Amino acid sequence: MNIRLAAVALLLVAGCNGAQREAAERQAAETKAASLLKRYQSAQGVHRMEHDGAYGSMAELIAARHVEGELAQAYDKSASPTPVDGYLFADIEAGSDGGALQKSRQAGLCAYPKSGQGKVILMLLDTADPEEWAFYSADAKSTGGAVRRWPSVYDLASKFMRAKQYTPQDAVKEAEKKAQP
């Protein structure tokens, strides 16, 4: 599936003018960041099975080797973080009240553009949410960069947009539609 997404992205970039190319490249980077957030979600599932249902921090997931490769390298608290297509990743470390995050029921990871330009994408895992996980996005300017505190209900409603849940096949269809003149 990643090969097909890459091919669609190349087609978008090849047939575009400068502004269209930049938009296509930004969309490809956002898609890659969202894909890495899905890896995080899977790693949290494994961690929860091993730790009586508790979520783990990125440092714990990396130490347990549940998160490796480019996602681990792009973690902004690693020794030398390396952005993936311009994105770094930050743990959501605190609850919406500023206190400790309740690891027994919540975890989150923020993908943010190192440049400060583009979208911030959150993967929020919350056992109190009927869907349990959700993607949210916002303009990086409105968040001030990395989000490290669980967003309040007000912030989720006013700054972020919740993404609909869809399959990778749906994402490819959407990209193909955008590629048509």
Q: Confidence band (pLDDT; 50, 70, 90) for 73?
A: very high
Distance, CA of 86 to chain centre = 13
The pLDDT, as a whole number, for residue 1 is 44
153-171 pLDDT, tens per residue? 999 999 999 987 655 566 5
The pLDDT, as a whole number, for residue 19 is 75
SS3 label, residue 120: strand
The pLDDT, as a whole number, for residue 4 is 47
Residue 149's DSSP bridge partners are 94
Cα 145 from Cα 125, distance rounded (Å): 20
10-54 pLDDT, tens per residue? 555 555 567 777 888 888 899 999 999 999 999 999 999 999 999
Question: Would the pTM count as exceeding 0.85?
Answer: no
Residue 119's DSSP bridge partners are 139
